Structure 1
């Protein structure tokens, strides 16, 4: 029980650190406000992470379309192949975090993995825009 509370406190600190660097990764102010309001309650944190993942997925899709529009047909195929491979990697990697013995914290870690990976990929694709 004490170990679980210590782990939870550590996870909350990690999430707060991410909020502090939200501008660097492109995470939204809505996410920061939601996490602040969650008070470390697991269910509320998961809801915040889910909503932000949706926003970051929209950001990623927008960046992907914008980059595709400026590429030659050959480069479009390369980006499409790279994106499909990235999605497979992200999904496999993040699903690994869903440890069946990890309790609710495994769910938080899994959702956080998807958020982190999606925001990072969106930022990477935005760097390719002219």
Structure 2
């Protein structure tokens, strides 16, 4: 039986509900979006706090950043000097975009969950770019 009140939810209840939805979203992303099992297990802990979410995200971001650097170097080695220069330009533009895009999500009026969202954005974009560059490197190596 569900408990229904006639009062609107408190700010705390809204934040808690948002955090729970975010955790479920992160867990789904771990399966669908290249994130590690360790991350999924970390973020799915029933006792995870906002600080704990930040810790899980930071560890996974480091993993994804390492993958990104490996893929970038691999792709760089497979390209001609002209294409390497274009890759460098593209990577610099992507880094600026990631910073701006995820920085936007750190809404100062969004409470603590906005910081989690911004960190998760940074992590997810890094994972996506690592996969993209890895795919390009595999294609270039196959030529």
Tell me the TM-score normalized by structure 2.
Answer: 0.83
Distance 1:47 1:38 in 2: 15
What corresponds to 2:108 in structure 1?
100
Distance 2:107 2:130 in 1: 26
Q: Conserved in 1, the CA contact under 8 Å of 2:50 and 2:116?
A: yes
Aligned mate of 2:16, from 5, 8, 13 = 5
What corresponds to 1:65 in structure 2?
73
Q: Conserved in 1, the CA contact under 8 Å of 2:15 and 2:113?
A: no
Aligned mate of 2:27, from 16, 35, 50 = 16
Which protein is richer in helix relative to its size? 1
Distance 1:34 1:48 in 2: 6
Distance 1:106 1:5 in 2: 13
Aligned mate of 1:111, from 119, 122, 126 = 119
What corresponds to 1:41 in structure 2?
49
Q: Conserved in 2, the CA contact under 8 Å of 1:38 and 1:45?
A: no
2:136 aligned counterpart, secondary structure: coil
Offset at residue 37 of structure 1 (A): 2.7
Distance 1:64 1:3 in 2: 41
Residue deviations 1:49-105 (CA, integer Å, cap 9, x gap): 011001100100000000000100000000000000000000001000111111110
The structure whose Rg is larger is 2
Q: How many residues align?
A: 127
Q: Conserved in 2, the CA contact under 8 Å of 1:38 and 1:44?
A: no
Backbone CA RMSD of aligned residues: 1.3
Offset at residue 18 of structure 1 (A): 1.3
Tell me the TM-score normalized by structure 1.
Answer: 0.91
1:99 aligned counterpart, secondary structure: coil
